[in-house]
A and B are shown apart, each in its own frame.
Chain A
Amino acid sequence: MNYILTLLLFLVGVFGIFTQRNIIKIIISVSIAESAANMFLVLVGYRSGGIAPVITGRYGPEEFSLLSVDPFPQVMVITSIVIGLSVIALMVVIALRLYHIHGTYNIDEIIINYRENKK
Chain B
Amino acid sequence: MNVILPLLVALPLGAGFIIALLPKKHTKAAAVISVTASIIILVGSAALFGYEGIYEIGGWNAPVGISLSIDAFSWIMLMSISTLTLFVLLFSADYMKTYTSRSRFYVLFLMMVAGMNGTVIAGDIFNRFVYVEMAAIASYILVGFGCGSKELAASLKYAVLGALASSVTVLGIGLFSPR
Task: Name the A residues within 8 Å of B155 (CB-CB).
Answer: 94
Consensus secondary structure, chain B interface: helix
Chain B's interface size range is 20 to 34
Interchain CB contact (< 8 A) of A73 among B156, B162, B177 = B177
Task: Name the B residues within 8 Å of A97 (CB-CB).
Answer: 147, 152
Contact present for B126 and A95 (CB under 8 Å) = no
Contact present for B174 and A14 (CB under 8 Å) = no
In angstroms, Cα B157 to Cα A23, docked, is 10
Contact present for A91 and B174 (CB under 8 Å) = no
User: Nearest residue in B to A102 (C-beta to C-beta)?
Assistant: B149
Per-residue contact bits, chain B 133-177, to A (CB 8 Å; 1 contact, 0 not) = 100010011001001011011011001101110111011011101
Interchain CB contact (< 8 A) of A91 among B147, B163, B167, B170 = B163
Contact present for B170 and A114 (CB under 8 Å) = no
Knowing A86-B137, A97-B152 are in contact, say whether A41-B163 is a contact too (CB < 8 A).
no
Per the CB 8 Å criterion, the residue count for chain A at the interface is: 42
Interface status of B179 (Cβ within 8 A of chain A) = yes
Interchain CB contact (< 8 A) of A98 among B137, B153, B175, B177 = B153
User: Nearest residue in A to B149 (C-beta to C-beta)?
Assistant: A101
Task: Name the A residues within 8 Å of B153 (CB-CB).
Answer: 98, 110-111, 114
In angstroms, Cα B137 to Cα A30, docked, is 15
Contact present for A94 and B179 (CB under 8 Å) = no
Q: Hey, which bits of chain B sit against chain A, CB under 8 A? A: 126, 129-130, 133, 137, 140-141, 144, 147, 149-150, 152-153, 155-156, 159-160, 162-164, 166-168, 170-171, 173-175, 177-179
